[in-house]
Amino acid sequence: MVSLWLVGGLALVLSFVFAMGGTGSALVLVPILHWLGFALNEAKPTCLFINALSMLGGSVSNLRHKRLDFGLALPITIPAVTLSPLGAYCSTLVSTRLVLYVFVAFLLFSGLMMLFFKRSKYEGQHREDRPLILLTGIGTLAGFLSGFLGVGGGALIAPLMIMLGYDPKKVTTITASVVPFLSFTGFLAYWSMGFINVRLLLIVGVCAYLGGYLGTHFMHSRLKPATVKRFLAIVVLLIALRIIVKLVN
């Protein structure tokens, strides 16, 4: 197994680069930590912790400035927070191979969304109704997969809500407010089952948080997120391809 400090350095770099593209690094850190020799059920809660920590500030800010539409957020948040621990528990009952197959599907979806989903096309949408079944379905799917895979549900929540007709700016607020809570409940589920590697959690958590913070500030001063996101999409798709190759060999 590689040095934890080397892993921390990798987490810092990946979090920096992914933050420049406006997204989190947990999407790729889970499989990379697994490749480096850590148990998948140790990598997942580590990345859930990173998700919760990195997005908590945005959630608090939204609540403090009353930007959050509770009528829209609660139908997503309640099932997401409830299903995230269930997803975590279910992932321990199935083979690592099956979890990785699901991870491949999620990576392919996320990578293709980064490449082809254009938020700018949907600017100016102002759908105001709240279809309970659809919103609950989004929360259920995002929460379960978040716990099952150890990733944030934002990659599902944001595009699905935007395609339903909701204002992308409002969706960003919803995502930033939902993801920390569903990530934290998933993390607590893994903790209760005894899958936490404390040293890995602390080193990777601190490094990923620092990398994300620096990457976000660098992005605003130097680069266009869309440009970086296209590069990141290729990285995500290549990681999916590598997992496929390892699974079939």
For the segment 48-94, what is each residue's pLDDT rounded down to a tens digit? 998 888 777 667 777 777 777 888 889 999 999 999 999 999 999 99
Q: What is the mean pLDDT of the chain?
A: 87
CA–CA dist 242, 104 (Å, integer): 9
pLDDT score for 25: 83
- Highest mean pLDDT among 12-26, 44-58, 86-100, 218-232 belongs to 86-100
3-class secondary structure for 130-176?
CCHHHHHHHHHHHHHHHHHHCCCCHHHHHHHHHHCCCCHHHHHHHHH
Number of structural domains found in the chain: 1
- Which band of pLDDT confidence, cut at 50, 70 and 90, is reported for residue 224? low
pLDDT score for 193: 96
CA–CA dist 156, 105 (Å, integer): 12
pLDDT score for 58: 66
pLDDT score for 133: 93
Range of the domain at 233: 4-248
Per-residue pLDDT for 240 more than 80?
yes
Per-residue pLDDT for 214 more than 70?
yes
pLDDT score for 80: 95
pTM of the model: 0.88
CA–CA dist 168, 129 (Å, integer): 15
pLDDT score for 57: 66
Contact yes or no for 189/84 (Cβ under 8 A)? yes
The stretch 115-134 carries a mean pLDDT of 80
pLDDT score for 75: 93
